[in-house]
Amino acid sequence: MINKERLISKFISYVKIDTQSDPYSNSTPSTEKQWDLAKKLVDELKEIGLQEVTIDENAYVMATLPANVPHKVPVIGFVSHFDTTPDFTGTNVNPQIIENYDGKDIILNKEKNIILSPEYFEDLEQYKGQTLITTDGTTLLGADDKAGITEIMMAMEYLVDNPEIPHGKIRICFTPDEEIGRGAHKFDVEKFGAEWAYTMDGSQIGELEYENFNAAQAIVKVEGKSVHPGYAKDKMVNSMYIAQDFINSLPRLETPEHTEGRQGFFHLSNIKGDVEETVMEYIIRDHDKMHFEARKQMMRDLVSDICSQYERDCISIEIKDQYYNMKEKVEPVMHIVDLAKRAMEAVHVDPIIKPIRGGTDGAQLSFMGLPCPNIFAGGHNFHGKYEYVPVESMLKATEVIIKLAELTAKEYE
């Protein structure tokens, strides 16, 4: 039986450490404060008895749970990231514990009238009677992905303390900078030495994912001409108006707030401008590779059309691919998804197999030679003040890890 209070205590100790990443930094990790949690995890891994505990110059933490069976079993791995999104503050996280949730509104912050309501966040209804951990309405929580880290740590501790549970060699890794798309960039797959792995980085209980978006980032720069407005006729070129033309020329309903499932989108994530220059940051997402390429080309063609319209190079675009759909790499080894599905069913969790409307380290790792489906970590409403995680979901995720280790060992007897 997993110790519920110990799990809660461990999780809270992690989320209280600020690990917000920074997309504008060129270092790895992108922020110095990520080292604080990385070093803490190294100490805890050693304390619970794992072997080959290492931390490299980029803060990637790895460790080994040796096999306890005589027969040969494929080495499997579990991966989670310790950074939190740069899009919302993770400083001074003050979690609230809601025991025996009554299914009603949760007041996160009375002073600011911030309420977590099941009328808006309908997923809350399925957790009535459970223990929820929420924010205080001023920060994110950090369950993405400190819930995953907690579950891996608890599962490894349980397997160490219960050697009668058979398992092969298990490798774990905790990574920096996943939230800025770099979590796998300096991941040493050869050193990790697993045949396949699972990221514990999904959302609601039961999620099991082996499809994700193809992803790219686009930086669009518009150049204008600033002239005194009193003398601007036929001279001023306002970059913000050209940017507006660009924005309005993209399909309005192909944005995150209007899409679901496998539908792709263009997302304007940031814009900063004045008369002289406007810079827009977009992310481009699509599950289908052909549609993904078409989206990128649409943006390039639009830039070309606007330049022709203004008869000068007033707008430019730079597009960088970030990651691709892992389905291509996982489908040839679908037994690893089947094992995860069986593990969930064995601990009475109904698997929800669906595409990820996002990405994980596992997407990049799959293309680096480490097939890596994604398993639920339990949290909801990531990257904002309405984030919460049911403790019972975290307990079940921990049980899934343990059962996966056991099933893999038995599969290869």
Q: Which residues of 74-96 are buried (b: 16+ CB within 10 A; e: fewer)?
A: ebbbbbbbbbbbbebebeebebb
- Residue 261 falls in which region: left (phi positive, over 0), alpha (psi -120 to 50) or beta: left
Q: At what angle do helices 34-48 and 4-15 cross, to 10 degrees?
A: 150
Q: Which of 83, 177, 209, 286 is catalytic?
A: 83
Cα–Cα distances in Å, from 131 out to 7, 114, 204, 227? 12, 20, 14, 60
**201 annotated to bind ligand:** yes
- Residue 119 falls in which region: left (phi positive, over 0), alpha (psi -120 to 50) or beta: alpha
Structure tokens at 362: 């596992």
Q: Which of 178, 207, 209, 399 is catalytic?
A: 178
DSSP 8-state class, residue 122? G
Tell me, yes or no, if 177 is annotated catalytic.
Answer: no
**223 annotated to bind ligand:** no
**71 annotated to bind ligand:** no
Tell me, yes or no, if 105 is annotated catalytic.
Answer: no
**179 annotated to bind ligand:** yes
Residue 107 burial (10 A CB sphere; 0-12, 13-18, 19+): middle
**383 annotated to bind ligand:** yes
Rg (CA), the chain: 23
Active site residues: 83, 178
Binding-site residue positions for Zn(2+): 81, 144, 179, 201, 383
Binding-site residue positions: 81, 144, 179, 201, 383
